[in-house]
Each structure stands twice: as structure tokens, then as C-alpha cells.
Chains A and B, each alone.
Chain A
């Protein structure tokens, strides 16, 4: 029995030694690749997408650790982790206005503004990948698909499928009413009202009772730059009934 046990240990030890050797070889291959194509990754967002997709296909996460080979040699890590910091800062700065919901477009614009003239340009795909990594910090980061783009959630508010589907409905005009929800989604009044009240409470929706017809629930996250003004936290509070 003891002999079999020993054998088992030896087998694993062998394989570990083999892996260690292969790792060294791989590291050399990666170094060679980096010396030729590191710039490509830095400058070409399509290449970054291709790279990420291929990694995902084979079961490798190049962004898992700053200590990983990919990060150390290709520099992909620093690019995305820094972007993560910038995303967190933008979301925090705008939270008083939009309750922690922001369109990917607006986030993109604001991040670019913050990065300044001499920084590397980033694509929307880059932002999404950085956000996916941020989720693990337990801060409520989420990505909600709406009408061809995405809403980015940056607060730990619970947004279930009912909330998401109402957000998607609101995306077309920037606001939604109870009757619209009832007719599009075939819900009862109470269900629609519950969802809207939750969004109001979280500060993600603002109520306009002066509209003709049904009261309108607006999403500040969907106001485009053309139609909104800078608003202070105090003004935001006064706007809520």
C-alpha cells in the first residue's frame, strides 16, 4: 500500500516539474511575442479584442493577476487596472446626479476627459472588460444591456429582471410611465409601480408629475449631454419630491 502511495506522489511531482519546465518555455515564447507585438496591443483596440477572445476560448484570463506573465510582459494588466480606477472615480463623481446608473457612452466620454491629452485612447470594449474585473470588489458594478448599448451600474442596489426590463423600456425616450409599462409588458399596475418606486428610491429615476397625462419617470442616466445641465447634489435632492 505504501508503495502505491509513493508512486502517486512521484507521478504528481513529475508532472509539476514538467509544468515548471514548460512554463519557462512559454515565458520565452511570450517574451518574443511581446518584443514584436507589444505596441500592437497598446495601440490597436481590435487586436486587443482578438487577443482577449482567444484567451477566453482556451480558458486563460490575462487580467486575473498583475503578477501573471501576460500582465508583466505585454503590459495588458496595467492598462486595464488603471482604467478600472478611472471608471470608479467617474462613477463616484456622477453618482449624485444619476443614482449610480450611467450609459456606456457617457462613461466613455467622461473617462476620456479625465485621461487627458497624452494618454492612450480607449474603446468601449476596453471599458467593459475593465468593469467586468471590478465586479469582484463587491461594489455592485454591473452591466445592463439596453437598446443596443449598455447601462453601467456602480452601486450595490438590487436590480432584478423586472427593473432591468423597465430600464430597457425607458431607454427609447429617456422616461417611462405606468401605462406604457402596462401596455408593453402586460403587467399589473402594482408591479409597475413597485419597480418605479424602487428606481426612485435608489435615485436612479426622477418623477415628473407636471407632464400632460401620466406622471413620467425619467432616468438621468439617459439624459444626453445636449439636454442636461451640471447639477449639484443639493439641486438633485430638491428635484426629488
Chain B
């Protein structure tokens, strides 16, 4: 029981740090509140979809920016819009902010600026993915040890 409490404590602390560091915002908390006994892994499932989206969009943008015959900034803008939308829906605040910064360089059709932004975006995405996977691992450990995941109220 002590071990479970330790894990739960760790989970709560780690969750708080994600908020403090701005990795996730209130929307993430809102999604947490939707979890219950019937769908205990809802946030994890949404996060998986988000990771898929992110990887696809970042990849598409990298390819678009590499086009020697001219960059299709309209396509880049469309990718940014989609990524901004889904990061906002899951509460991935730093990824969302990176998208907002990216948009201004895309609007200005500044290829160099876009390449820098894409790098920044990839960095924020990796950070988010690592941190969330750590959090989800903690969740799984708690459940495996017979405990329940501390719920937000």
C-alpha cells in the first residue's frame, strides 16, 4: 500500500510539474476530468492520436520546406493550422505557442525563419512526448500495483 502511495505521490508531483513548466495547460486538466472507471485511459488515447498527427504534420512541413522549386507556404500554413488546433484541444501549450510563432514566419513566406520554427516545434513536440509518456508509465505502474490513478476534481 505504501508503494502505491509513493507512486501516486510521484504521479501528482509529476503532473504538477508539467503544468508549472507550461508543457500542458488547463485544457489538459479538463480532459483528465473526463476520465472515469469506464474510460480510464482516455487522455492516453487522445495523446496517441495527437502524437500521430504531430509526426505526420511535422514531416509534411519538413518536406515542403525542402522543395527546391519553391516552398508551398499555403500547405505549410494549413499544417500549422491543423497542429495549432489539435495541440490546443489536448492542452499542449508549448507546442501550440510554437505553432503561433511559426505562423508569422509562414505568413511572411520566410523560408529560413520557417526552418528555425520547425526545429523549435520538433523540440517542443519531443519534450511533450517524453514527458507524457513518463506520466502515462506512472499511471500504468499505479494500476499494475493495484492502486487507482489520483483523479482531478
Decide whether A and B are members of one complex.
Answer: no
